[in-house]
Amino acid sequence: MKQLLLTKEEEKIFDGEMGEAPKIAIRLLYSLGELGEADRLIPIKSAHISGVSYKNVGEGGIRFLNKISHKVSVPTSLNPLGFDIENGGPVDIDENFHKKQMEIVEIYKKMGVMDSFTCTPYYYYNEPSFGDHISWAESSAIIYVNSLIGARTNRESGPSALASAIIGKTPDHGLHKDEGRKASVVVNVSDRLDYTRFAALGLFLGAKLNKKIPVIRGQKSAEGIELKALSAALSATSSIPMFHVEGVTKEYRLICESPEVIEVGKGDIDETIGKNSSQQEPELIAIGCPHLAPEELDYIAKLVKGKRKVGPDLFLFTSREVKAKSGDAVRTIENFGGKVFSDTCMVVSPLSNNYSSTGTNSGKATFYLPLKGYGNQKVAFMGIMDLLKWVIA
Ligand code: F3S
C-alpha cells in the first residue's frame, strides 16, 4: 500500500493548528486517500455537496454539520432540499421539518456555499471544464460531469465532498487518473434510444455492471439530455462513476484491453420499462429528476400550450437559475395548470405526505420512489408523451 504524503502545510492542518473543523476534514480525506492508495492530495476547482434535505440527513446530519462548519475554500454548490424555499411546496410539511431544514440551510450559508439547491449545478451555477479535478457528491451529477464534460471526480459522499470543499483538495486516485476512467465493458445497443429508454438502459445496466465503467456503442446521435437520464438511472442502481458513448463523449477511446462485451436489445429495454411501471392513473405526474434543463422546460411548454388540464397534479422540478431564465416556458406551464418548483425534488421532499402514486419519466425516481422511507409511492414509469396523456384534456 502506498503512503499518502502530506505537505508541511497539510500536516499543520492535520495536527489541528488551523482549528477543529479543518482537522476533521483533512483527516477524513487522509483516511479515504489511504483506502484508495493515493500518494497525495491534489487541488480541486469546485465541490458539490449532497445530503441537504432534512428528510435524508436528520438530527445526526445536523450535529455533524455543526461540528465541521467552516468556510469553504472553493466554489461549492448544494443539492436539493425538502421544499421550495421561496414558493413553498411541493407537499405539506410540518413546522418542525421546516425549522430543521432551514437550520441546515443556515449552517451551509455560513460556510459560504452557493444558494443553488440543485442536482444539475452544471447548468449555470458550478460548471466544470474538461480535465478539472473536482470533488462532487450527488451520484447523478458525478456521472454526468465525468462522462459528458470530462471533469474528474470520484463518487464522493456528502461528508467527503464537504471536507474537500473546506480543504480545497481531494485524494489523487480513482477517477482522477486516466487508468481509473477506462471502460471495462463494451455495451452494444441495437436500437436508437430516447430519453426514457436511456433511463431504462441505466436501470438495466446498473443492476448488471455493479461498478464497471461501460462504453456504449450504437448511440452516436445521443443528446446531453438523454445521457443525463442515463446518468441518473445508473447512479441509483450501481456504483458506476462514469460511462463513455462511442462518438459522443470526450474520452470514449479509454478502454481496457480485452473488455467484456454485452448486447442490449429492444426486448431488454421494453422488459425493464414494463417491470417498473404500474399502468394505473397516478395522483401526481412528476418530471425533473434530475432537475430540468431550459430546453426540457421549453419542450414541455410547447406540448401543453393552449391545452386544458385534467386529471392528476403536474409538478416539474428545476433549479432557481433555470426557472428564472425560462420565464416564458414556466408561465405557459403554470397557465396550463402545472407547477414548477425549484430548490427541491420529488425524492428528497416528503412526497408521501400528500401522494401515494406518481408517474415519472425518471429511472432514478422510479428506483427510489417505491422505497419505504423515500416515497412509499406506486410508480408509473413512462415517456413524457404518455405521462401528459393523463393531464391534457
Ligand atoms: Fe436530483 Fe432529486 Fe433526482 S436530487 S437526481 S431530482 S432524486
Cell numbers found for residue 20: 477543529
Domain boundaries, the chain: 8-175, 179-273, 277-388
Closest ligand 1 atom to the C-alpha of 50? 4
Q: Does the fold of domain 277-388 match that of domain 8-175?
A: yes
Write the pLDDT tens digit of every residue in 39-76: 999 999 999 999 999 999 999 999 999 999 999 999 99
Q: What is the pLDDT of residues 222-239, one digit of tens each?
A: 999 999 999 999 999 999
For residue 2, is pLDDT > 90? no
Q: Whose CA is nearest to atom 6 of ligand 1?
A: 289
The CATH code that applies to domain 277-388 is 3.30.499.10
Residue of 77, 291, 323, 358 to mutate, ligand 1, most atoms within 8 A of C-beta: 291
List the residue whose alpha carbon is closest to atom 5 of ligand 1: 290
For residue 279, what pLDDT is reported? 76
The conformational region for residue 9 under phi > 0 = left, psi -120 to 50 = alpha, else beta, is alpha
DSSP calls for 189-213: E-SPP-HHHHHHHHHHHHHHHTTPP
Q: Which helix (H) or strand (E) covers residue 269, if one does?
A: helix 266-275
Indicate which residue's Cα is closest to atom 1 of ligand 1.
290
C-alpha of residue 348 to centroid of ligand 1, in Å = 7
Does the predicted model carry a pTM greater than 0.85?
Answer: yes
**Ligand 1 centroid from CA 126, angstroms:** 17
**All 3 cell numbers of residue 163?**
471536507
Closest-CA residue to 111 (of 71, 73, 167): 71
pLDDT, mean over the chain: 97
What is the per-residue pLDDT across 134-190, written as a single tens digit (0 to 9) for each?
A: 999 999 999 999 999 999 999 999 999 999 999 999 999 999 999 999 999 999 999
Residues 6+ apart with CB under 8 A from 339: 89, 90, 313, 314, 315, 316, 333
The CB of 141 under 6 Å from ligand 1? The reply is no
CATH of 8-175, one of 3.30.499, 1.10.150, 1.20.120, 3.20.20: 3.30.499
Looking at residue 91, what DSSP letter applies? S
pLDDT of 278 over the 80 cut: no
Query: Which residue puts its alpha carbon closest to atom 2 of ligand 1?
Result: 345
- Three-class DSSP category at 375: coil
Residue type, 168: G
Position 1 scores a pLDDT of 64
Placement of cell 416528503 in the chain: 350
**DSSP conformational letter for 176:** G
Distance from residue 232's CA to the centre of ligand 1 (Å): 8
